[in-house]
Amino acid sequence: MWVLYVLLEMLVYSVIAGFIGALTGLGGGTVLVPIYTLVLGMPIMYAVGASLISTIATSSGSAAAYVKEGISNIRIGMSLEVATTLGAIAGSLTVVWVYRVGLTWLIYVVFGTVLLFSLYPTYKKISPRPWAPTLKPDWTTRLLNLRGKYYDEARKTTVSYYGVRWWLGLVVMFFAGYVSGLLGIGSGALKVLGMDSAMCLPIKVTTTTSNFMIGVTAATSSGVYWVNGYIQPFIAAPTALGVLLGSVAGTKALVRMKGRSVRIVFLLLLAIMGVEMIARGLNLTGWLT
Amino acid sequence: MRIRVETAISYSLILGVLISSALMVSGLTLLFLKGGAGPYDVDTICSFQSPVNTRTFTLSQAIEGLGSFNGLSYIYLGAVVLIATPVTRVVLLIGQFASERNKLYLFLSLLVMTNLTFALLILPTLARPRSLLLAFLLVLRCKFAP
């Protein structure tokens, strides 16, 4: 009976993580790992492994949206995947080394820091402004054909957009992939940052493209995670199912939600979690609670 | 043509996620119904500090357990199907770019596929130098055996 209770507990927490992750746009894993480690007291290794698997489920599960989206988004995504997959390989190998030399506390600190730094791009994503060209098209715009259109529902018009500075996007994406491999999260916020700030793409496009990239990046890290035993089947299975269900529900709730206040409250809650993760890493447990 | 490929990609991903979820649910159910899996009992598997993970219980062991309805085997199969979904997406896009004769994007997607293959197939064997050494010795024995 005890075991069933533990299973139910994980299922409930992962549904909540998936729901908040989808609602804020931060991704299920980023919410999940702090809950699993701080609340359930799970070894971070298993929490991160389960999070990685759930990240793949969420990314592939969100594919229904792509039926409506244009291929241009997917094309831009593929061109950046070159960097995120390389980053994921480097990140997953780094985390193996970190655990081997016993620097696990560092993962808590980096996780908390990434969580805090993800909040601003996520907040920006919540309050999108209509896209306007800020930089002139450059050689990468032409070479890689970084152009596309999307339908702006609020203004009822089709917006034609273009991306610039693909090379800068690659640099940020390598970093995003590295963080994803290191922490077992999708690092969607960093991916959005790369496409929004570096490549000047519209937020609406960056979100769907980032969803596409997250799955491929996470799948890349899964090989190293698997062989090093970070995936615990009893933890990973309910987590993947829970986060998937939660994120589907979250995405649906998002469509009906008008205001931003609920999401901002969740972001503040996550800020506390980020600080708490850093505190745990620096052995300051109980500092806030 | 374009719409068809995108739709195919979307449905293959959703199908992959559904199959994987079904496998994981049946794996968990088997685990509880049989009170364990293979040599492990439920209490050993179902704890946060469990020694049972993808390193101690390997994929090849999992495949062997499929016939005897080992719960872990079905969870593993579910995870493998899940990991395969983004890979399928890349493969389908390679096909799409090839049919479009979009050389640059074909090259980029092949590069992504190379990274994926390296990370999923080559890197895990390198991470286990012992198994690699064993395979090497096995080859040597086959070659020089009388």
Does residue A289 form part of some domain?
Answer: no
Does residue A72 form part of some domain?
Answer: yes
Which of B1, B15, B54 is the best residue to mutate to test the A interface, defined by the most A CB atoms within 10 Å of its own CB?
B54
Task: Give residue B44's pLDDT.
Answer: 85
Q: Provide the domain count of chain A.
A: 1
Which of A60, A68, A79 is the best residue to mutate to test the B interface, defined by the most B CB atoms within 10 Å of its own CB?
A60
Does residue A213 form part of some domain?
Answer: yes
Query: Does A287 have pLDDT greater than 60?
Result: no
Min Cα distance A196 → chain B (Å) is: 21
Q: Which residue of B has its CA nearest to A92?
A: B119
Min Cα distance A81 → chain B (Å) is: 6
Tell me if A231 and B79 make a contact (CB, 8 A cut-off): yes
Query: Does A143 have pLDDT greater than 60?
Result: yes
For A117-140, what is the mean pLDDT? Answer: 79
Domain edges within chain B = 2-102
pTM as predicted: 0.89
What number of other Cβ atoms are within 10 A of residue A3's Cβ? 16
Min Cα distance A264 → chain B (Å) is: 30
Residues of chain A contacting residue B26, judged by C-beta atoms under 8 Å apart: none
pLDDT tens column, A32-52: 999 999 999 999 999 999 999
Tens of pLDDT, residue by residue, chain B (146 residues): 455 677 778 888 889 999 999 999 999 999 989 888 878 888 888 888 888 888 888 888 888 888 888 999 999 999 999 999 999 989 988 998 999 899 999 999 999 999 999 999 988 887 665 665 666 666 666 666 54
Residue A101 makes CB contacts below 8 A (sequence gap 6+) with none
3-state class of B40 per DSSP? strand
What number of other Cβ atoms are within 10 A of residue A273's Cβ? 22
Does residue A103 form part of some domain?
Answer: yes
Tell me if A3 and B49 make a contact (CB, 8 A cut-off): no
Query: Does A289 have pLDDT greater than 60?
Result: no
Give the residue numbers spanning the domain of A170. Answer: 2-281
Q: Which of A142-151, A230-239, B54-63 has the lowest mean pLDDT?
A: A142-151
Does residue A122 form part of some domain?
Answer: yes
Min Cα distance A267 → chain B (Å) is: 28
pLDDT classification of A179: cutoffs 50, 70, 90 = very high
Does residue A22 form part of some domain?
Answer: yes
Task: Give residue A269's pLDDT.
Answer: 87
Q: Which residue of A has its CA nearest to B55?
A: A229
Does residue A57 form part of some domain?
Answer: yes
Does residue A286 form part of some domain?
Answer: no
SS (H, E, C) chain A: CHHHHHHHHHHHHHHHHHHHHHHHCCCHHHHHHHHHHHHCCCCHHHHHHHHHHHHHHHHHHHHHHHHCCCHHHHHHHHHHHHHHHHHHHHHHHHHHHHHHCCCHHHHHHHHHHHHHHHHHHHHHHHCCCCCCCCCCCCHHHHHCCCEEEEEECCCCEEEEEECCCHHHHHHHHHHHHHHHHHHCCCCHHHHHHHHHHHCCCCHHHHHHHHHHHHHHHHHHHHHHHHHCCCCCHHHHHHHHHHHHHHHHHHHHHHHHCCCCHHHHHHHHHHHHHHHHHHHHHCCCCCCCC
